[in-house]
Amino acid sequence: MAQQIFPFLDPQAVTVPVRTLPVAREIKWDFVRDRPVYRGGQPVFVERAEAVAVWAWNALHTERWRWPLFTGNYGSEIDSLIGQTWSEDYKRAEVRRYVTECLMASPYVKRLDNMTVDFYAGKLTVKFDLVSIYGMVQMEVSDLV
């Protein structure tokens, strides 16, 4: 009989529960006007990849730590770049980091691909492919700061 330190533990008997996520659901967003979409006085809902895109848009446009309504895991810190005298390359790297930290907080987001960061005439624009558990959505987000 082999002796074990903890003979009462059977590793084969331990099962790790699989965490299933509910279907992502958000109020449809008009990205041009930056406001929710209503029809007949009622909000229009979207699900899956489109809902993840709405969540991402709103998370990037929400200043992290500012609103007590949201946890510290929600929002972006891009606004902290305002007034900094860092080089353009450093700012681009920080924007990439802030966007990645913001969006990877969601369990629905798997990764971000092909991210580009542009500063033009005082306007910040970030383009990327958001790969969610539902598939890929191309996003272009401006007016972050």
Whether residue 27 is contained in a domain is answered as no
Going by C-alpha positions, the residue among 43, 143, 62 that lies closest to residue 103 is 62
Whether residue 9 is contained in a domain is answered as no
| pLDDT the model gives residue 13 | 59
Question: Against a cut of 0.85, is the pTM above it?
Answer: no
Q: What is the mean pLDDT of residues 96-113?
A: 95
Rounded-to-integer distance, Cα 70 and Cα 13, Å: 39
Q: What is the mean pLDDT of residues 92-96?
A: 92
Total length of the chain:
145
Total structural domains in the chain?
1
Q: Within 10 Å of residue 95's Cβ, how many Cβ atoms?
A: 22
* CATH number of the domain that residue 85 is part of: 3.10.450.40
Rounded-to-integer distance, Cα 40 and Cα 42, Å: 5
CA torsion through residues 129, 133, 135, 141, sign: negative
Question: Residue 122 — very low, low, confident or very high, per pLDDT cuts 50/70/90?
Answer: confident
Distances from the Cα of 17 to the Cα of 14, 20, 24, 106, angstroms: 10, 9, 21, 20
Whether residue 6 is contained in a domain is answered as no
Give the percent of the chain with pLDDT over 70: 86
Asked if the model's pLDDT at residue 118 lies above 60, the reply is yes
